[in-house]
Structure 1
Amino acid sequence: MRFDQWQNGWCQAAEKCVSPNHGARPAQAKIDLIVVHSISLPPGEYGTQAVQQLFTNQLDWDAHPYFQSIRGLEVSAHFFIERQGKVWQFVSCDDRAWHAGASHYRGRGNCNDDSIGIELEGLEGETFEAAQYDSLTQLCQALKQQYPIAYLAGHEHIAPGRKKDPGPGFDWALLQKNVAWPPQYFPEF
């Protein structure tokens, strides 16, 4: 998949599924951080379309007992990469998605203001598929062509103690090798 065509912050190669859960970035925001997350709904189940429903406020809260614990949650990410590598986009990268929550990284708080959130379909601590790493690599490289990306971190790095994703199953060394960016772009692993 080629991620080289962009329009107003939208990657033309991604499946577009617009989320209402976003806002304008602050005027001074420098979009220099990519945050990697993991999610599956219900936890550990894949291909359910529940993530897409959650990010567009269409999740049936009564469809699974777990959904009661997240009832009313209004969240989004810029991108979601399914297990087989398909990429969905919910929010323009020019806008602020609601993926980081209370967060702090590289001397700045409120990481939603100046980051791009990428969710990988998976369970924190578990491993991810080769197709996901391929799509993530290509997407990160394309984002670096569009924005002044200088950092790449996990949700666990920007919200330590509160979040644990993508977790120990995520291969940071592989991603660093694939994108061919210097070590200072990455958290210690």
Structure 2
Amino acid sequence: MWLDEGWIEEDWVRRVQSPNQDARPMGMLVDTLVVHCISLPERGRDASLVTDLFLNRLDCHSHPALAELAGLHVSAHFLIDRDGSITQFVSCEKRAWHAGISAAMDRSNFNHFSIGIELLGDVYSPFEGAQYASLKRLAVELKSRYPLKFAMTHSEIAPTRKTDPGPFFDWKGLRKSNTYELQISGL
């Protein structure tokens, strides 16, 4: 079930609203999923630190690697933890601040027309089966509401800046081979 404001109202999705969001351009069609990965500090597995980052309350002095995040205001629509649990931080009707400077397929500013999904993890290790199962379940739910056509990685839309979700991310069951076209199978 969906709330009119773009929030998933299901017991398998936790809601925590990030202030790091704004309005999408008027009439913008949401047709793309962008898959990311995040770990704080690098190779960390603590989802609470990501939540704190998305809520602008991360203690950037708690670890030397976090110092560079001071003053950063970012968010994603969803975070999928290692155990498959999903948290929604931004309404899908709003623009989350996940893509940054981005361009691909003769389009730019992917925040305008995409839904950002972060997987807790890094580019150095495989993701969990529970994360893939939740990602597919979430993609099915999102596709039931939005005319999603494409699924891309952060590295595909910002190749000079980003490498996530990295070489261990497996597209099997989420998009057609050798294309960006979303194709959900295997559920």
Which residue identity lines up with residue 143 of structure 1 in the other structure? L
**Is it true that 1:185 corresponds to 2:181 in the alignment?**
yes
Say which SS state the counterpart of residue 49 (structure 1) adopts: helix
Q: Distance in 1 between matches of 2:132 and 2:36?
A: 13
Q: 1:121 matched to which residue of 2?
A: 120
Instruction: Give how far 1:173 is off.
Output: 2.4
Instruction: Give how far 1:35 is off.
Output: 0.1
Which residue identity lines up with residue 185 of structure 1 in the other structure? E
Match of 1:10 among 7, 19, 32: 7
- Please identify runs of 4+ aligned residues in structure 1 that moved more than 3 A: 174-177, 181-184
Residues 148 and 67 of structure 1: CA distance in aligned 2, closer, same or farther (over 3 Å): same
Tell me, which stretches of 5 or more residues in structure 2 are unaligned?
Answer: 183-187
Which residue identity lines up with residue 128 of structure 2 in the other structure? E
Instruction: Give how far 1:43 is off.
Output: 1.2
Deviates more, 1:90-99 or 1:121-130: 121-130
Q: 2:56 matched to which residue of 1?
A: 57
Q: 2:148 matched to which residue of 1?
A: 149
Q: 2:99 matched to which residue of 1?
A: 100
Q: Distance in 2 between matches of 1:125 and 1:25?
A: 33
The alignment yields a C-alpha RMSD, in angstroms, of 1.7
Q: Distance in 1 between matches of 2:124 and 2:165?
A: 7
Q: Distance in 1 between matches of 2:92 and 2:116?
A: 9
Q: 1:79 matched to which residue of 2?
A: 78
Instruction: Give how far 1:6 is off.
Output: 1.0
Count how many residue pairs are aligned between Structure 1 and Structure 2: 179
Identical positions, percent: 47
Is the CA contact 1:133–1:175 (under 8 Å) kept in the aligned structure 2?
A: no
Is the CA contact 2:152–2:180 (under 8 Å) kept in the aligned structure 1?
A: no
Is the CA contact 1:125–1:170 (under 8 Å) kept in the aligned structure 2?
A: no
Instruction: Give how far 1:176 is off.
Output: 3.6
| 1:82-108 Cα shifts (integer Å, max 9, x gaps) | 000000010000000000000012321
Is the CA contact 1:78–1:91 (under 8 Å) kept in the aligned structure 2?
A: yes
Residues 49 and 156 of structure 1: CA distance in aligned 2, closer, same or farther (over 3 Å): same
Is the CA contact 1:22–1:91 (under 8 Å) kept in the aligned structure 2?
A: yes
Tell me, which stretches of 5 or more residues in structure 1 are unaligned?
Answer: none
Deviates more, 1:71-80 or 1:124-133: 124-133
Instruction: Give how far 1:40 is off.
Output: 0.8
Q: Distance in 2 between matches of 1:57 and 1:184?
A: 32
Q: Distance in 2 between matches of 1:176 and 1:48?
A: 26
Instruction: Give how far 1:172 is off.
Output: 1.2
The TM-score normalised by the length of structure 1 is 0.90
Instruction: Give how far 1:143 is off.
Output: 0.5
Q: Distance in 1 between matches of 2:62 and 2:100?
A: 26
The TM-score normalised by the length of structure 2 is 0.91
Residues 48 and 26 of structure 1: CA distance in aligned 2, closer, same or farther (over 3 Å): closer
Say which SS state the counterpart of residue 120 (structure 1) adopts: strand
Is the CA contact 2:47–2:120 (under 8 Å) kept in the aligned structure 1?
A: no
Instruction: Give how far 1:69 is off.
Output: 1.4
More helix by share: 1
Q: 2:185 matched to which residue of 1?
A: none
